[in-house]
Amino acid sequence: MKRSSSRRRGVLHRTALLVTALLVGSLSPLLTAGTASADGEKYVIATDTTFAPFEFQDKQGNFVGIDMDLIRAIAADQHFTVDIKPLGFDAALQAVQANQVDGVIAGMSITDKRKQVFDFSEPYFESGIQMAVLKTNEDIKSYDDLRGKRVAVKNGTQGATFANSIKDKYGFQVVSFADSSSMFDEVKTGNSVAVFEDYPVLLYGIAQGNGFKTVTPKEDPTGYGFAVNKGRNAELLQKFNAGLNNLKKSGEYDKIVNTYLGEGASNDDNSFLGLIKSTYPILLQGLKMTVILTVVSIAIALVLGIIFGLLRVSRAIWLRAIGTTFVDIFRGTPLLVQAFFIYFGIPSALGFQMSALTAGIITLSLNAGAYMTEIVRGGIQSVDKGQMEAARSLGIGYLPTMRKVILPQAIRTMIPSYINQFVITLKDTSILSVIGIAELTQTGRIIIAGNYQSFKMWLIIGIIYFVVIMALTKLSDRLEHRLVK
């Protein structure tokens, strides 16, 4: 019996050391993220993640495209460096407004409304809106053919603005999506008949074999601009304009554009096996991020769950109120809202910077901690009350009784629920893509943005999730069996 107890204490000790190492190793570099370089010549630049040919990810996992090549070439010309943060279009704009980044380049149209919030560079690309339909569609040839039908657009784009401006005139319905690949998939499924998008995006997608064709001339021509928060980073804006002018004079600008919109943009091997071969290094990086987020967050959530779980069963009403408030807040609000509030809201209100990974871990930990609190409370209350009364009658204090008598019995009933929460947290990591964390799901979106192979890629990602979750479940079942035994 003593040997069994000693072994269990040894396991717990090693587990505690492992969790501590994970926490320290993962969080220590994050707390300093987002700080400027000593010479002030390094800028953090936000961008979209799924807007080929302006920004997307290549086979090596690097972010490339017209915008990416352009900002790096301008940085080299003007002797500064850039740290690219692929956040997604909506999140990128919020990050600039919250001063989490210095600027944004994301195929962003210069409009009067946006000029009220951002300061723009000189236009670096002249775009325009076009309507596209499936190549096999012979019924939709003009806006008049859209009456009574649905069209797909991407949130916050000029395509969305233009479609909404003419929908009443031509009698069609507009549905919005967060990224271009989802917008195209909406038409492929037959739920919508057309998309409105900037013509270079359509041109690139057609070159990649996405099965679409354009059916209208360019509308509403507008320039794309690099943007900073209103009244900030004027020096960066000046450097961008000066560098852009130099690139145009040298011919480097035309070379960058032709790389992605010229005849050199060729198709890759998009077979199922070909996609696995070309994307598995990037997918493994996304899976690694998913596992790190899950392990670190669930470890912190367990600590929070024990603390607030004990508060929930405390004899003091004010302690129970604290525990109840914690649970109600984080179980009563969506995880998506919590992520936005922690990453954008709090730093903006308090005037400091926080890395996306730090915000993601905090979000998952607090959310999972609220559910762990209820698991701990339920486990404690499942132990017969006579156990507490018997221990107290022997003169053992409340906390020693809870630690030595109640919790060891409660843990056995808590294990299945804890394992279930572990799996839920692993799947919840996908929501953190909204703040730019490239976990497995976001990695899939980024890949699809470049090759438009949504069905095959989501099948591959689904298989990866299934294998990982099943492996964790089987491992947890064995652990549960050994502990209960």
Which residues are 131's β-sheet partners? 196
Question: pLDDT band at residue 368, thresholds of 50, 70 and 90?
Answer: very high
pLDDT at 57: 76
Q: What would the pLDDT profile of 281-298 be if each residue is shown by its tens digit? A: 888 888 889 999 999 999
> Poorest-confidence range of 2-6, 220-224, 257-261, 356-360?
2-6
Identical fold between 42-124+225-247+254-261 and 125-223? yes
pLDDT at 371: 92
Q: What would the pLDDT profile of 271-284 be if each residue is shown by its tens digit? A: 667 677 777 788 88
Question: pLDDT band at residue 269, thresholds of 50, 70 and 90?
Answer: low
pLDDT at 483: 62
pLDDT at 413: 76
Residue type, 274: G
Q: How many residues does the chain have?
A: 485
Q: What would the pLDDT profile of 78-116 be if each residue is shown by its tens digit? A: 999 999 888 878 888 888 998 889 999 998 888 888 999
pLDDT at 76: 92
Between 73 and 265, whose confidence is greater?
73
The CATH class of 271-484 is mainly alpha
Delimit the domains of the chain by residue range: 42-124+225-247+254-261, 125-223, 271-484
Is pLDDT of 377 > 80?
yes
Q: What would the pLDDT profile of 396-406 be if each residue is shown by its tens digit? A: 776 777 767 77
Which residues are 212's β-sheet partners? 134
Most confident stretch, 26-35, 58-67, 368-377: 368-377
The structure tokens listed for 389 are: 């009364």
3-state SS string over the chain?
Answer: CHHHHHHHHHHHHHHHHHHHHHHHHHHCCCCCCCCCCCCCCEEEEEECCCECCCEEECCCCCEECHHHHHHHHHHHHHCCEEEEEECCHHHHHHHHHCCCCCEECCCCECCHHHHCCEEECCCCEEEEEEEEEECCCCCCCCHHHHCCCEEEEECCCHHHHHHHHHHHHHCCEEEEECCHHHHHHHHHCCCCCEEEEEHHHHHHHHHCCCCEEECCCCEEEEEECCEEECCCCHHHHHHHHHHHHHHHHHCHHHHHHHHHHCCCCCCCCCCHHHHHHHHHHHHHHHHHHHHHHHHHHHHHHHHHHHHHHHHHCCCCHHHHHHHHHHHHHHHCCCHHHHHHHHHHHHHHHHCCCCCHHHHHHHHHHHHHHHHHHHHHHHHHHHCCHHHHHHHHHCCCCHHHHHHHHHHHHHHHHHHHHHHHHHHHHHHHHHHHHHHCCCCHHHHHHHHHHHHCCHHHHHHHHHHHHHHHHHHHHHHHHHHHHHHHC
pLDDT at 40: 52
CATH architecture of 42-124+225-247+254-261: 3-Layer(aba) Sandwich (3.40)
Classify 104 in phi/psi space as left (phi over 0), alpha (psi -120 to 50) or beta: beta
- Cα angle 317, 318, 320; round to 5: 65
- Mean per-residue pLDDT over the chain, rounded: 81
3-state SS string over 388-416?
Answer: HHHHHHCCCCHHHHHHHHHHHHHHHHHHH
Q: How far apart are CA 382 and CA 380, in angstroms?
A: 5
Of the options 3.40.640.10, 1.20.272.10, 3.40.190.10, 3.90.280.10, the CATH number for the domain spanning 125-223? 3.40.190.10
Residue for token pair 């396991």: 11
Is pLDDT of 451 > 90?
no
Is pLDDT of 118 > 50?
yes
- Cα angle 253, 255, 261; round to 5: 105
Between 395 and 186, whose confidence is greater?
186
Is pLDDT of 133 > 80?
yes
pLDDT at 43: 93
Is pLDDT of 164 > 60?
yes
